[in-house]
Structure 1
Amino acid sequence: MSTQPRVDPFRDFNFRLEIDNLPVAAFSEVSGLSSDGDTVDYRTGVDIPLTARKLPGLRKFGPVTLKRGMVNDSSLWDWYRNIATGSADRRNGSVILMDEARNDVLRWNLEAAWPNKIEGPTLNATGTEVAFESVELIVEDITLEVA
């Protein structure tokens, strides 16, 4: 019998978002907290095996997609408008995962984020669903902090 305490994984529904200069950012979905990279093939003329070495190349992050129910708040659209009109309005932010007691446990820090795409809701006169908006953020870096 194991004497180690049981460690359950965290649930995905208990999170919040903080972004510089945005009011309360209550989002129902966040996706795209990812990192990927290119590989660079390298081979010298004196390598004995006839294969290329694989070296790490440039890292790529995101895009991070945020979704929320439409409310009487235009802050995302205003931020998008700043970018669309040429302002360099990059902001830092964090996606914070909380445990059942609402204590912070993990934090994904987003650096130099800016909205590249924004979508209003799909409207249907016969539907009863919540009207959702979404925004796609381009980020230069994502780091993970364990609280």
Structure 2
Amino acid sequence: MSPRQGRSLAAHNFGLQIDGVLVEYLSEVSGLTIEQDVVVSPRNTAQGRMDLTILPGVQRNGQCTVVRGVTQSASFTRWINDSVNGRTSTARRNASIVLMDHEDNPVQRYHLRNAWCGRIDAGTPQAGEGAVLTETVTIVFEELVIE
């Protein structure tokens, strides 16, 4: 069931797709931001007054942070290792953060063009603790497109 127009979406589940394949479920996503330069173009009018036109400029690259429970996802780990070890030919991949509803149907996608892992922070495991071990991964990308 798709949401009706004007209704806000509830964040039930996030997934990370790399080259169209779901490789990991996420517990948190932050920093998905599109930033664009602003170009100011001044000119004189026929009456001699200054007129400013504001135009959209170039979209900037960005980064986002995802938190995942540590799993044995081989493809996600390989992608991280390729990024950290400078293998850019295999590390720069098209990725998507996918927001899913309560039935795991995709309802929103954030496409990250030429994305790679810029940083990884392992959680702090403590002996005897029953908490889930997590990793925080910073994903760097060249372009963000919302679908």
How high is the TM-score relative to the length of structure 2?
Answer: 0.74
> Identity of counterpart residues, as a percentage?
32
CA distance in 1, matches of 2:106, 2:34: 22
CA distance in 1, matches of 2:85, 2:13: 35
Aligned positions, number: 140
Residues 1:16 and 2:15 are matched in the alignment: yes
How high is the TM-score relative to the length of structure 1?
Answer: 0.74
C-alpha deviation, 1:114, in angstroms: 0.6
CA-to-aligned-CA distance 1:74-121 (integer Å, 9 cap, x gap):
654543332333321211122222223332222222211011111111
CA-to-aligned-CA distance 1:40-88 (integer Å, 9 cap, x gap):
23324x3544465433222124312111122344654543332333321
User: What one-letter code is carried by the residue in structure 2 that aligns with 1:117?
Assistant: R
> What secondary structure sits across from 2:60 in the alignment?
strand
> What secondary structure sits across from 2:83 in the alignment?
helix
Gaps of 5+ in 2: none
Change (3 A) 1:22 1:134: farther
Relative to total residues, which structure has the larger strand share, 1 or 2?
2
Q: Check whether the contact 1:34–1:61 (CA below 8 A) recurs between aligned residues.
A: no
User: What one-letter code is carried by the residue in structure 2 that aligns with 1:62?
Assistant: G
Change (3 A) 1:125 1:102: closer
Change (3 A) 1:103 1:85: closer
Give the superposed CA RMSD. Answer: 2.9
CA distance in 2, matches of 1:54, 1:124: 54
> What secondary structure sits across from 2:79 in the alignment?
helix
> What secondary structure sits across from 1:123 in the alignment?
coil
Gaps of 5+ in 1: none
- Partner of 2:84 in structure 1? 84
